[in-house]
């Protein structure tokens, strides 16, 4: 595996951590400091772990007596963000896809979605020319894209994505020396509650002295929205394969209710996160973080928008077109999962599991 963590980044990370470790004024903001204080040297593995443990709030920049323009020029959020970004690239699978992280911007992700939609459109129309022109009977998606085609396509993509993410995680775990299983009660609680975005009893800041809970709440909307949509699809798959209940399902059915709530969450969350990004201090981000963050948010948003539109308009003639756009967005979302913002959740969780192990002293 090519070492994609430039020694310059590691050296800078080490320099910053040494100043932090000699100062320690920030020690009660979040777990990053207790983790720093357990170390005397800061090698690559330590910096990878610390950078993925960091939730990228701004407290450490604004509170820092050594922040630029001080000659020590300490910017902890930005330094850790830089290393974190590189870590996503360094441990992805297949390795040559690492470059995809940098190119991952809103335009790229939307182009991928459009390409998939177009492909689906062309394929579906070739096999069923009538599918796009007439109002479909009772919102039957499978009259546009056959069920077998959907299952095959998404199944293949799903297997690839899970494999890619699992291999990335394996590489990352090995690098940071995490041997524990990923299931850990304390770490799970940290992930589910985003506890460390308000550890100090009040929310973290993304601009000097402007603390608000919104970043956390919009993340919750996005995260739980995503999970509910995933649950909706899973329930639908069980309905179909186990019980032989064929979609479309009623508005009051479990898959539709889960999907609707999840879809609304995936609408509010990404819109909120995008809005917050506009007000976010650029000094807290590093390198190509912006396009990379917004690309994932944009795909989530297109997915939820088209999904909800599909629900409302499923008996209209526009349904066929909406369906291919929606499926195109979902496919693009899944294909880019291992090469985009999504991976932060995986590596962050691994870092939190390691932190939980360090805290418990094992």
Residue 205: phi and psi, rounded to 5, are -110, 145
Piece of the chain touching another protein by CB under 8 A; list 57-65, 148-156, 288-296, 299-307: 57-65
361 interacts with another protein by CB under 8 A: no
Measuring CA to CA, which residue among 44, 298, 141, 20 is closest to residue 35?
20
Pattern 178-217, another protein, x by CB under 8 A: ----------------------xxx-----xx--------
Alpha carbons 337 and 161: distance in angstroms, whole number:
7
Alpha carbons 266 and 274: distance in angstroms, whole number:
12
- Quote the least distance from Cβ 24 to another protein, whole Å: 7
CB contact at 8 A, 121 and 362:
no
**Beta carbon nearer to another protein, 64 or 308:** 64
**Beta carbon nearer to another protein, 60 or 326:** 60
Alpha carbons 116 and 106: distance in angstroms, whole number:
15
Contact pick of 2, 3, 8, 22 for another protein (by CB under 8 A):
22
21 interacts with another protein by CB under 8 A: yes
- Quote the least distance from Cβ 207 to another protein, whole Å: 11
Contact pick of 71, 126, 137, 179 for another protein (by CB under 8 A):
71
154 interacts with another protein by CB under 8 A: no
**Beta carbon nearer to another protein, 199 or 303:** 199
* Sites for another protein among residues 25-44 (CB under 8 A): 25-29, 37, 40
Measuring CA to CA, which residue among 6, 178, 161 is closest to residue 85?
6
Q: Which tokens is 171 given?
A: 């590489």
- Quote the least distance from Cβ 84 to another protein, whole Å: 22
- Quote the least distance from Cβ 20 to another protein, whole Å: 9
Residues 6+ apart with CB under 8 A from 326: 303, 306, 307, 309, 310
Alpha carbons 249 and 51: distance in angstroms, whole number:
44
Query: By CB under 8 A, how many residues form the interface with another protein?
Result: 31
Piece of the chain touching another protein by CB under 8 A; list 69-77, 226-234, 279-287, 314-322: 69-77
- Quote the least distance from Cβ 209 to another protein, whole Å: 4
- Quote the least distance from Cβ 247 to another protein, whole Å: 52
- Quote the least distance from Cβ 42 to another protein, whole Å: 10
**Beta carbon nearer to another protein, 80 or 337:** 80
Alpha carbons 330 and 341: distance in angstroms, whole number:
15
CB contact at 8 A, 251 and 261:
no
Contact pick of 2, 3, 8, 69 for another protein (by CB under 8 A):
69
Provide the β-strand partners of residue 205: 211
CA of 251: how far to CAs of 259, 262, 308, 325, in Å?
Answer: 10, 14, 12, 21
The C-alpha torsion from 45 through 350 and 261 to 215, rounded to 10°, is -40
- Quote the least distance from Cβ 75 to another protein, whole Å: 13
| Binding stretches for another protein (CB under 8 A) | 18-19, 21-29, 37, 40, 59-60, 62-72, 200-202, 208-209
């Amino acid at each position: 595996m090519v070492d994609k963590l430039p020694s310059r980044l590691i050296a800078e990370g080490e320099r910053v951590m040494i100043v932090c470790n000699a100062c320690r004024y920030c020690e009660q903001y979040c777990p990053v400091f207790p983790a720093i204080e357990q170390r005397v040297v800061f090698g690559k593995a330590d910096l990878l772990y610390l950078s993925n443990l960091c939730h990228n709030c701004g407290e450490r920049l604004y509170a820092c007596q050594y922040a630029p323009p001080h000659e020590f020029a300490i910017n902890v959020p930005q330094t850790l963000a830089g290393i974190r970004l590189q870590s996503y690239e360094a441990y992805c699978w297949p390795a040559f896809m690492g470059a995809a992280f940098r190119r991952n911007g809103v335009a790229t992700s939307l182009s991928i979605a459009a390409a998939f939609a177009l492909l689906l459109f062309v394929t579906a129309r070739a096999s069923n020319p009538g599918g796009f022109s007439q109002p479909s009977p009772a919102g039957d998606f499978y009259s546009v894209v056959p069920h077998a085609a959907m299952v095959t396509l998404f199944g293949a993509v799903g297997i690839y994505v899970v494999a890619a993410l699992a291999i990335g995680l394996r590489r990352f775990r090995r690098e940071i020396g995490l041997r524990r299983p990923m299931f850990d009660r304390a770490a799970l609680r940290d992930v589910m509650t985003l506890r460390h975005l308000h550890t100090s009893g009040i929310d973290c800041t993304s601009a000097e002295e402007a603390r608000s809970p919104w970043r956390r709440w919009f993340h919750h909307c996005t995260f739980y929205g995503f999970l509910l949509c995933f649950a909706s699809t899973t329930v639908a798959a069980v309905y179909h394969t186990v019980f032989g209940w064929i979609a479309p399902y009623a508005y009051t059915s479990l898959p539709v209710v889960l999907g609707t709530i999840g879809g609304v969450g995936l609408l509010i969350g990404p819109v909120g996160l995008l809005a917050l990004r506009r007000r976010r201090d650029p000094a807290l981000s590093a390198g190509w973080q912006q396009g990379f963050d917004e690309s994932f948010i944009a795909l989530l948003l297109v997915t939820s928008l088209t999904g909800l539109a599909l629900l409302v308009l499923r008996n209209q003639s526009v349904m066929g077109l909406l369906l291919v756009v929606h499926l195109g967005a979902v496919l693009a979302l899944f294909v880019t999962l291992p090469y985009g913002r999504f991976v932060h959740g995986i590596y962050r969780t691994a870092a939190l599991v390691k932190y939980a192990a360090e805290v418990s002293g094992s």
